[in-house]
Amino acid sequence: MSQVEKRAGLLRRTSSSKKPLKEKVVLMYDEIFKEDPAKNNPRFWDELFLMKVNLEYLESKLESVDGEEVQRIQDNINSLFHHCVQALGEEHQIKVVNALQTLCALFRGVHQKNKSASGFDIINMLMGFDKAEQRMKDLMERLDSLLCGDGSESLKSLCLKLLLCLVTVTDNISQNTILEYVMINSIFEAILQILSDVSSRGQHGYDAVVLLALLVNYRKYESVNPYIVKLSIVDDEPTLDGMGMVVHQALTEYNRQYKDKEEENQGGFFSTLTSMVGSMFIADADEKLSVQTNEAILLALYEAVHLNRNFITVLAQVHVYFSLLWFYLCVCCTVMNNPELPLDPNLQTSNLLITFLKYASIVMQDTKDEHRLNSARLCLIILTCIAEDQYADAFLHDDNMNFRVNLHRMPMRHRKKAVDKNIPSRPLVCAVLDLMVEFIVTHMMKDFPMDLYLRCVQIIHKLLCYQKKCRIRLHYTWRELWSALINLLKFLLSNETTLLAKHNIFHLALLVVNLFNMFITYGDTFLPTSNSYDELYYEIVRMHQVFDNLYCMVLRVSTNTGQWKEAASKVTHALVNVRAIINHFNPKIESYAAVNHISQLSEEQVLEVVRSNYDTLTLKLQDGLDQFERYSEQPKEAAFFKELVRSISLNVRKNVSLNTLSQDVLLKEFSTIS
Amino acid sequence: MVVQSQSIWRKPTDTGSSSPSLSVCSSPSLSLPSTPSSSSCPAPGPAPSGTPPLGVISEGPGELSLVIDAEVAQRACQEVLQKVHISLMYQNRVDVGGSQNGAGPEPALSVTIVKPAQIQIREVEDDPGSVKSARRRQRHNPSKQSWLLRLFESKLFDVSMAISYLHNSKEPGVQAYIGNRLFSFPHDDVDFYLPQLLNMYIHMDEDVGDAIKPYVVHRCRQSISFSLQCAWLLGAYSSDMHISTQRHSRGTKLRKLILSDELKPAGARARRDPLALTPFCPAVSGSGEHGLSPSKRTHQRSKSDATVSISLSSNLKRTASNPKVESSQDEPVRLAPQREFIKSLMGIGKRLATLPTKEQKTQRLISELSLLNHKLPARVWLPTAAFDHHVVRVPHTQAVVLNSKDKAPYLIYVEVLECENFETSSVPIRIPENRIRSTRSVENLPDCGMTAEQRAGSFSTVPNYDNDDEAWSVDDIGELQVELPELHTNSCDNISQFSVDSITSLESKEPVFIAAGDIRRRLSEQLAQTPTTFKRDPEDPSAVALKEPWEEKVRRIREGSPYGHLPNWRLLSVIVKCGDDLRQELLAFQVLQQLQSIWEQERVPLWIKPYKILVLSADSGMIEPVVNAVSLHQVKKHSQLSLLDYFLQEHGSPTTEAFLSAQRNFVQSCAGYSLICYLLQVKDRHNGNILLDAEGHIIHIDFGFILSSSPKNLGFETSAFKLTTEFVDVMGGPDGDMFNYYKMLMLQGLIAARKHMDRVLQIVEIMQQGSQLPCFHGSSTMRGLKERFHMSLTEEQLQLLVDQLVDGSMRSLTTKLYDGFQYLTNGIM
């Protein structure tokens, strides 16, 4: 109680008297916790909402209510809630603002108090069971009309904050029973309206998108969530565009921040020197380039891509960023009269997918910390969804849509940092493949991210399936992919024992070998040149030792009895063709070398041998190489998403409470209005 | 001839009895007599009853009305023309104007017009032009011109002759008559000469202008596209005038009038306060209108355009925060959407020019076009197209920037929906981009809505569309429809099945074996069989886009388009040029088309491909791209082969049917263009300006240097036309049959062209009027052109000439030098 008082009196610091002077509003709060406040003062509620809210006091007061007291004051709290909702309909904006904030405090305070209590108790305490439905209906309707109306932008912002506050008030969103009423009284349309309008999107788009992402995750797997249903059928172009734009801007902002930080870190000789010296003292102070990742926005992107098939087209919208700029220019200087627009010619066009790929390349660099690991996983899941979608694939492979995508590459000892400027402009799928290759070569470490590797290899497989089906001959340097995959196998082999303790490496090995089988058996349908098929054989033969070792290993495991027996034997079968190729060509190459007395054959010579000896090689056609399991969130990913949503909730709650409810701005605004 | 003369003599009396069917015999091209109303409007109100057949112009009450009584005018003309001796015309039609002036009695040819003209004047007191001309007419003496009249009335009298007389005759009577007579020609025929008509209107004396104006105004009222066409051409051809005179010139005034959109169909205007309009143009409103416009709906329609469908203009201006600003004023809607559309295309071109690299240009182009897409569909169309349509979408990702050093011409593909009439048919509803999937799944049969013809076509390209009806209802790649190239069925039938689908049934435990050699072979076979594509080069993005066969591109874009399922979906393409003067191109197009029709008429199998030109102003315009064609430069650069080897690669060995027909096409087109190059003195013939199409034809493009102009290049290109040894090699060498065929074709072509020389000369001559174009530089342009037809030579002499020309061109050092020069300076191979 003393703590409460300390917080309460602003004036207390100056006066040392025992009876502190309390704010009027605090007194009024106190009254609520004693008896029916309206009994003595019929205008009590009117006056209350004219007072500046003291959130902290109200919250802590609610927290400190004891068990028996609850019964006593429940009616008063219900009444407070009721009047808050009513005040939302007031003309007087100050009242609306105060009511919104009071509601916020109510939700938070009551939850804080009853952390362990069931959702029903909380509802009962806030609104009273019998009236809960009506109260929440009123509340949602009021919020809806505030959000959609022509009112002040700050008010709208506050509404969204209240909703965010309500949604994140529990750690596990699915345990937040009040949301059941938000499901019944949908504010989905209001959210969409905010997103479809350019100006409101600019101001509230981020909150709206996060709110939507969270609402979609309410009891996702247990019941029918109307937000999921509604989101999946949205087909209004501007709205989807708007959603894409919000995500795009958030990701762009992240990429920019990262870049700034990166440049800061490598700024000149002196700073490198100081940082070297510095790192000598702070041994492992992990001065990493860590910009707070933004899982909430990524989750929104995922839900949009996963649930709404129309959203895929938004990924391909070329001009997202650019158009915004163009639009403003349009408004400023009537464009059509002035064809010479003062546009920056160096402005690179971009789209959501490119930004996303860049973001993914940053996030994937370092997967050690939990948030980044989650982000990286989510990125790969999104890419999986994209790779499965036909329209997205068509866009990725569109030969006319060429882009330069500057992926971030981890600086590594054994390779130079790629010169960014020389990246050619290519279809976007090349960037996706680059990203996958980049991931494969950079994450072979003790703490092996098996899950990410599986996803990565599956994405490649899905893209290959599309290319095979549609006979798209992508001009990609497949060699890089092949050698990355072979190196991965090599890594698995050399770390067999440590890895086997934690993972089923045979599954991954099988997927990798089957990628090779795709190339071997169906190469004719999607390889760009006949030479590339020769090169594939060359690469396999050159690295035959890896395949030999792999075969020995899987043979050994599959002959022993053990938990991996079956998995390993699958790999042995999958290796049939690769081994056939090695066994066929190796002797030929050796004899060629012997006949021509050459110790070291050049690549051209080996290719020559390969070319002239195809006809005597027979391969076995394997089943289901071009089949893949479609992505489904349930049941495999459910746990991941639950955890993810929990962490997002915590994060959002923290951010909402920290800075956004400061009402100075609001008051300033409304004092001039009213 | 007897019949004709009969009809002419009968005419005066017949017209008296005012039988509408009567003049059928005099103007063979129409079933109805030459009233503008009869040809254009389905339900003429007052016209049929007792009004004369020709050139009836009447206005509704309340409007300032002026009636040029066609019958009176016609009779007057007849009387005048009776005095002219027809032999004059037949011998040398072109010189008629001159001889009329020169000879003493002839100029009087219109004296008898006096009375009818006076009648006119009384009715039209505020038309100073006609007053003056009428007075002038009074000075003339009557003389025998019946033969001219007979010609005018005869079947042979076509637009070409009309234009020629309009230009050459100094007689206001004749001019007025022809002005009226224009109404009786089919619109398309007159449209061909629109540049000539307007150029005469701008640059010639008032009489000609007065004769032409009613027709132009009349057509403007009828058609939006004609209005815009006129406005653009008037702007372009007025631009050579001195600034001070330009502003007050007739052309500029008419252009302003058209663009002000006052020339609405009468029905629409009648609803408005007539007084508001009268000050504008008494002459125009008086003479051009016939009060029976078919499109009363226009006014309302334009209103609904603004609200229902998106009107481009209002849309471009509408702000983000207030999307409902849609224009409440319905004034500019008639012409505005199209003008805004064209304007934005031009704006893009101008902005692209500021970007340094091709790649940046391409990206900017794509993003700008995707913005444009947001404003479509609208009541806009591509004027280069041959049918009525609305533009619904620009597949922005397909657009390419063309090769040019400092300007930024670009090629866009445009999806359109064909419609009855773009002015009256309703604008299609926008289908959002992301509807592709739903429309696809709705549409189970991929070829529903195609015509039988198309379906037949589509079968050959995509053989197993029909096998699987559900192919399009799902869009997972797992179940994606596979399109087998045809070759699969014939080359390696059995195994290829496996390469398409692996066997998934687990029952068949029998292992299936395939030979690695087969896979490899299939790969190289398929790579060879797929039509050769050029490798993508960011510095030359157009090469790849142009190499793709048109049908394939259409199919591909159709599949990706949300509108693709509609039966009236069409794909068009257009090159947008910004900063280039296309007036010479237009002139060349007209000459080419004229020659093409001459050769067709004379049954000479020369092949040329005139491509449509749209002049928007003196420094901008659009070009209809030649489909399925790439430039010789691109061919050489990307294939690294000689032309003959390229032919062998594309069409097969020299004895195959495919090669032989490609070779024949090559020869026929070479001969055609050799003649064109010679006659028009087309210069700057480097390989970037010569296209090769998929059937082996060559097509010359870029007529920037013709007639008297040539690039300032130290006297390269002195030969008559470009004939390199490579060309001759494709023809089978200088001793081959095909080469002789080539020369023979040229001779036949030249003879045919000579026969109809006037039709060609006339086009050029009229355009020379008031023009500052470099191709008319100097005084000898026309003389030179005429001389190149070699009227005086016998056919034997002509043959000798052709041989000389061919030999000279083949040996020409300068051609080779010029190619080398182009390679060094511009990198054109």
Q: Quick check: is B669 in a domain? A: yes
Q: Quick check: is B610 in a domain? A: no
The Cα B591–Cα B610 span in angstroms is: 9
Q: Per-residue pLDDT tens for A566-625?
A: 899 999 999 999 999 999 999 999 898 888 888 888 888 889 888 888 888 888 888 888
Token pair belonging to A430: 């090349």
Across the interface, whether the CB atoms of B478 and A401 are under 8 A apart is answered no
Q: Per-residue pLDDT tens for A80-106?
A: 899 999 998 888 888 888 888 889 888
Tell me the backbone φ, ψ of residue A16, rounded to 5 degrees: -100, 5
Interface A–B counts its CB contacts (< 8 A) at 203
Is the preceding omega at residue A635 within 30 degrees of 0, hence cis? yes
Nearest to B371 among A323, A391, A521 (CB): A323
Model confidence, pTM = 0.65
Angle at A272 between CA A269 and CA A276, to 5 degrees: 140
List CB contacts (< 8 A) between A326 and chain B: 371
**Across B590-662, where does the E strand assignment appear?**
613-617, 620-623, 629-631
**Across B405-541, where does the E strand assignment appear?**
410-418, 512-515
* Residue B75: per-residue pLDDT: 56
3-state class (DSSP) for residue B449: coil
Report, as an integer, the average pLDDT of A205-221: 92
> How far is C-alpha A316 from the geometric centre of its chain's CA atoms?
18
Domain containing B701 — which CATH number?
Answer: 1.10.1070.11
Higher pLDDT, B668 or B356: B668
Report, as an integer, the average pLDDT of A428-450: 91
Q: In chain B, whose CA is at the least distance from the CA of A578?
A: B516
Q: Per-residue pLDDT tens for A639-649?
A: 999 999 999 99
Report, as an integer, the average pLDDT of A177-202: 90
Which residues have C-beta within 8 Å of that of residue B486, sequence separation ≥ 6? B460, B463
Residue B493 near chain A (CB below 8 Å) = no
Is a pLDDT exceeding 60 seen at residue A662?
Answer: no
DSSP, res B510: S
Across the interface, whether the CB atoms of A525 and B499 are under 8 A apart is answered yes
Percent of chain B at pLDDT above 90?
4
- Cβ–Cβ < 8 Å for A135, A125: no
Containing domain of residue B214, as a range? 154-259
Residue B321 near chain A (CB below 8 Å) = yes
The Cα B349–Cα B345 span in angstroms is: 6
Beta partners for B417?
B390, B569
Percent of chain A at pLDDT above 90?
31
Tell me the backbone φ, ψ of residue A412, rounded to 5 degrees: -130, 155
Q: Quick check: is B799 in a domain? A: yes
DSSP, res A321: H
- Cβ–Cβ < 8 Å for B699, B693: yes
| Strand pairing class (B613-617; B512-515) | unpaired
DSSP, res A657: I
How many angstroms separate the CA of residue B523 from the nearest CA in chain A? Answer: 4
Q: Per-residue pLDDT tens for B660-679?
A: 999 999 999 999 998 898 88
Residue A235 near chain B (CB below 8 Å) = yes
Q: Quick check: is B591 in a domain? A: yes
Is the preceding omega at residue B538 within 30 degrees of 0, hence cis? no
Phi-psi bin for A128: left (phi > 0), alpha (psi -120 to 50), beta?
A: left
Residue B488 confidence class, pLDDT cut points 50, 70, 90: very low
Nearest to A198 among B320, B433, B535 (CB): B320
Q: Among B259, B286, B314, which residue terminates a domain?
A: B259
Number of domains composing chain B: 2
**C-alpha to C-alpha distances, A306 to A174, A231, A388, B212, nearest whole angstrom:** 20, 10, 10, 65
* Residue A432: per-residue pLDDT: 94
List CB contacts (< 8 A) between A240 and chain B: 434
The Cα A572–Cα A566 span in angstroms is: 10
Is a pLDDT exceeding 50 seen at residue B493?
Answer: no
Q: Quick check: is B93 in a domain? A: no
List CB contacts (< 8 A) between A466 and chain B: 477, 480
The Cα B124–Cα B287 span in angstroms is: 10
How many angstroms separate the CA of residue B496 from the nearest CA in chain A? Answer: 10
Which residues have C-beta within 8 Å of that of residue B640, sequence separation ≥ 6? none
The Cα A666–Cα A152 span in angstroms is: 10
Closest CA to B317 of A329, A218, A494, A541: A329
Higher pLDDT, B541 or B426: B426
Is a pLDDT exceeding 80 seen at residue A4?
Answer: no
* Residue B126: per-residue pLDDT: 41
Report DSSP letters for B155-193, one per residue. TT--HHHHHHHHHH---HHHHHHHHHHGGGS-HHHHHHT
Closest CA to B381 of B332, B335, B432: B335
Average pLDDT, chain A: 81
> How far is C-alpha A364 from the geometric centre of its chain's CA atoms?
12
* Residue B705: per-residue pLDDT: 81
| Strand pairing class (B698-700; B690-693) | antiparallel
* Residue B333: per-residue pLDDT: 65
Residue B282 confidence class, pLDDT cut points 50, 70, 90: very low
ipTM of the complex: 0.76
List CB contacts (< 8 A) between A527 and chain B: 523
* Residue A597: per-residue pLDDT: 85
List CB contacts (< 8 A) between A394 and chain B: 560
Higher pLDDT, A435 or B443: A435
**C-alpha to C-alpha distances, A188 to A199, A229, A301, A413, B744, nearest whole angstrom:** 19, 11, 17, 50, 78
- Cβ–Cβ < 8 Å for A360, A376: yes
Q: Quick check: is B640 in a domain? A: yes
Average pLDDT, chain B: 67
> How far is C-alpha B413 from the geometric centre of its chain's CA atoms?
17
Is a pLDDT exceeding 80 seen at residue B504?
Answer: no
3-state class (DSSP) for residue B381: coil
Report, as an integer, the average pLDDT of B97-126: 39
Is a pLDDT exceeding 60 seen at residue A313?
Answer: yes
Q: Among B237, B259, B281, which residue terminates a domain?
A: B259
- Cβ–Cβ < 8 Å for A589, A603: no
**C-alpha to C-alpha distances, A514 to A134, A509, B182, B456, B492, nearest whole angstrom:** 59, 8, 76, 41, 25
Interface of B with A in 423-482 (CB under 8 A): 432-438, 475-478, 480, 482
- For A613-635, b/e burial (b = at least 16 CB within 10 A) is bbeebebebbbebbebeebebee
Residue A325 near chain B (CB below 8 Å) = no
The Cα B485–Cα B463 span in angstroms is: 8
Report DSSP letters for A146-166, one per residue. HHHSS--HHHHHHHHHHHHHH
* Residue B542: per-residue pLDDT: 72
Q: Residue A544: CA atoms inside 13 Å, Cβ hemisphere, count? A: 16
Q: Quick check: is B87 in a domain? A: no
Q: In chain B, whose CA is at the least distance from the CA of A312?
A: B434
Report, as an integer, the average pLDDT of B510-525: 82
Q: Per-residue pLDDT tens for A341-358?
A: 334 433 456 788 888 999
Longest CA–CA separation in chain B, Å: 108
Angle at B402 between CA B400 and CA B407, to 5 degrees: 120
* Residue A530: per-residue pLDDT: 85
Across the interface, whether the CB atoms of B500 and A240 are under 8 A apart is answered no
Q: Most B CBs within 10 Å: which of A198, A232, A306, A319, as the mutation test of the B interface?
A: A319
* Residue B503: per-residue pLDDT: 40
The amino acid present at B600, given as its one-letter code, is E
* Residue A467: per-residue pLDDT: 92
H-helix or E-strand containing A268? helix A268-281
Is a pLDDT exceeding 50 seen at residue B13?
Answer: no
Is a pLDDT exceeding 50 seen at residue A1?
Answer: no
Q: In chain B, whose CA is at the least distance from the CA of A310?
A: B434
**C-alpha to C-alpha distances, A54 to A38, A51, A95, nearest whole angstrom:** 20, 9, 14
Higher pLDDT, A543 or B711: A543
Q: Per-residue pLDDT tens for A61-83?
A: 888 877 777 778 888 888 889 99
**C-alpha to C-alpha distances, A96 to A62, A162, B525, nearest whole angstrom:** 21, 12, 75
Residue A164 near chain B (CB below 8 Å) = no
Is a pLDDT exceeding 90 seen at residue A433?
Answer: yes
3-state class (DSSP) for residue B613: strand
Q: Quick check: is B822 in a domain? A: yes
Q: Per-residue pLDDT tens for A482-517?
A: 999 999 999 999 998 899 888 899 999 999 999 999
Q: Among B259, B285, B302, which residue terminates a domain?
A: B259
Q: Most B CBs within 10 Å: which of A536, A621, A631, as the mutation test of the B interface?
A: A621
Nearest to B321 among A199, A326, A466 (CB): A199
Of A256-265, A546-555, B808-817, give the range with the top mean pLDDT.
A546-555
Q: Which of B248-262, B643-657, B736-750, B782-796 has the lowest mean pLDDT?
A: B248-262
* Residue B307: per-residue pLDDT: 35
H-helix or E-strand containing B576? strand B569-578
Report, as an integer, the average pLDDT of A230-234: 89
- Cβ–Cβ < 8 Å for B668, B745: yes
The Cα A583–Cα A586 span in angstroms is: 6
Nearest to A425 among B500, B504, B538 (CB): B538
* Residue B199: per-residue pLDDT: 85
- Cβ–Cβ < 8 Å for A492, B491: no
Nearest to B523 among A523, A625, A627 (CB): A523
Higher pLDDT, B68 or B296: B68
3-state class (DSSP) for residue B539: coil
HEC string for B395-422? CHHHCEECCCCCCCCEEEEEEEEECCCC
- Cβ–Cβ < 8 Å for A333, A255: no
Q: Most B CBs within 10 Å: which of A469, A474, A531, A626, as the mutation test of the B interface?
A: A469
Is a pLDDT exceeding 90 seen at residue B8?
Answer: no
Token pair belonging to B449: 């809505």
Residue B476 confidence class, pLDDT cut points 50, 70, 90: very low
Across the interface, whether the CB atoms of A524 and B536 are under 8 A apart is answered no
Q: Per-residue pLDDT tens for B34-58?
A: 334 333 334 333 433 433 444 434 3
Which residues have C-beta within 8 Å of that of residue A154, sequence separation ≥ 6? A665, A666, A669
Domain containing B198 — which CATH number?
Answer: 1.25.40.70
* Residue B701: per-residue pLDDT: 86
HEC string for B696-749? CCEEECCCCCCCCCCCCCCCCCCCCCCCCHHHHHHCCCCCCHHHHHHHHHHHHH
Q: Most A CBs within 10 Å: which of B316, B327, B367, B374, as the mutation test of the A interface?
A: B367
Which residues have C-beta within 8 Å of that of residue A367, sequence separation ≥ 6? A373, A376, A443, A449, A452
